[in-house]
Amino acid sequence: MAVRHDSQEDPSDAGSTGLPDFGDNIDPMTFEQILEMDDDEDEREFSKSIVFGFFEQAENTFKNMDASLESKDIAQLSSLGHFLKGSSATLGLTKVKDACEKIQHFGAYKDETGTNDVPNKELCLEKIKKTMIPLKKDYAEAETILRRYYHDTSI
């Protein structure tokens, strides 16, 4: 398959040799591993189903995180952070993964690196609340990038 190099090329049609610039939102090497599972590089049905399934999963997880913040269920917040960290890492959503890891640590009464104890529940909840703001922003940016990549017009 020949790859065009003219300026009119749509980066999402270039296959594994021409991913668009995802910036620091998405790790292209990790995302390319998902794309390699597609049977048809033009349709990309398999990877699209994984990515769009993640969007649904993330939105539900955010709702559960908001509810857990409201009820101050710190153990559940740690669990939800761990859950979303794993699925975002699979897709290469680096900023989302990093924020979820911090939430996981804060929910386990640790600092953002997971190395030092933070024995104050209210402080940990406040740190989780503050981390949720850039997490949701970074998720929205990654979602927009990926919806454009898959030519989804609902954005």
CA distances from residue 57 to 35, 123, 126, 139 in whole angstroms, order as listed: 20, 28, 24, 12
pTM: 0.85
The pLDDT of residue 39: 92
Of 13-27, 30-44, 117-131, least confident by mean pLDDT is 13-27
The pLDDT of residue 66: 98
The pLDDT of residue 19: 83
Average pLDDT, the chain: 89
The pLDDT of residue 18: 65
The pLDDT of residue 155: 66
